[in-house]
Amino acid sequence: MTFLKTTRLVGLLFAAGLLASSAAFAGKTLDAIKSRGEVVVGVNTGLAGFSAADSQGKWTGLDVDVGRAIAAAVLGDGEKVKWVPLNAQQRFTALQSGEIDVLSRNTTFTLTRDASLGLHQTAVTFYDGQGFIVPVKSKVTSAKQLKGATVCVQSGTTTEKNLTDFSRANNLNLKPIVFEKLDATNAAYFSGRCQAMTTDASGLASIRAKEAKDPKDHLILPELISKEPLGPMVRRGDDEWFAIVKWVIYGLIEAEEYGVTQANVDKLKAESTDPVVQRLLGKSEDMGKLLGLDRDWLVRAVKTVGNYGEIFERNVGEKTPLALKRGPNAQWSKGGLQYAPPIR
């Protein structure tokens, strides 16, 4: 083959690659969502602060707000969501089978889940860790004092495995009492069937606030026995949808860092001279085009639910019944772990 022919072939292949990549920006999941007019989001069956429905069927919580932000970014309306409540055993199957578009359900990222389920982990929306709750009257103040104790735990979770590891590592001979559903786990603990209960610390705060007759009668022990980075998951095989979900979350985090809020987003879009803010809000550059969205995708998401800090404080922060401090969920510039790659 002559040099000229080789050069032409390379050029044709390059052009074909550009056409293929540009055509792929829509993505089959996004096309399906636009066709049906709603995003189908898998959530917890009921975990206060993260995803729970009230008596009128209105869903609220941190995980719910992430779903609404995605809907606002891709469909222009944060209410165009179908919520699918799922227990721990159902959640991955529902996503794998296509029943839902995204799983936004206090789910821990692990190597096994990322590499073996046909799913993608997106971005961390809540840095958590597994803890224990005990009755104050037990006088237990440390997890190391639980030797031989019965512990209520939900099956089909990382929680069950972490409990076994912690017990073996510390020679505690803990006795798990396992339940399939979270409601049954909670009921067993509060009825006194178990001496302690274990799950993510945020979940313990939610359960104590919602289920306990008097939250002051129950103590969340200080030790965290695991790392539990929580966030949405999507199916493998649609990189465009994976990118959209991931960057909506990063956009909410970046909005907080640069002071873009639900209240001021329109004003900043019109008046800000900060190059980063102008890029975030689509004034100077169209970042949405690369995601198969329009230039106002992040404006709509922030107008719908606020930035990441607003979402956190509204649902689980210190002024809510959960009363959680930002801790590792603070911005990286304020001693936390929340750090968004640049939107540029």
- Residues 160-219 have pLDDT tens digits of 999 999 999 999 999 999 999 889 999 999 999 999 999 999 999 999 999 999 999 999
- Residues 56-84 have pLDDT tens digits of 999 999 999 999 999 999 999 999 999 99
pLDDT attached to residue 67: 98
pLDDT attached to residue 156: 83
pLDDT attached to residue 266: 97
Tokens 């790659």, located at residue: 341
> Where does the pLDDT of residue 18 fall: very low under 50, low under 70, confident under 90, or very high at 90 and above?
very low
- Residues 149-171 have pLDDT tens digits of 999 999 988 899 999 999 999 99
pLDDT attached to residue 20: 43
Amino acid at 295: R
By the 8 A CB rule, do 223 and 143 touch? Answer: yes
Tokens 């578009």, located at residue: 101
pLDDT attached to residue 25: 54
> Where does the pLDDT of residue 16 fall: very low under 50, low under 70, confident under 90, or very high at 90 and above?
very low
Q: Report the predicted TM-score, pTM, of the whole model to 2 decimal places.
A: 0.89
Domains along the chain with CATH numbers: 28-127+230-334 (3.40.190.10), 130-226 (3.40.190.10)
Percentage of the chain exceeding pLDDT 70: 92
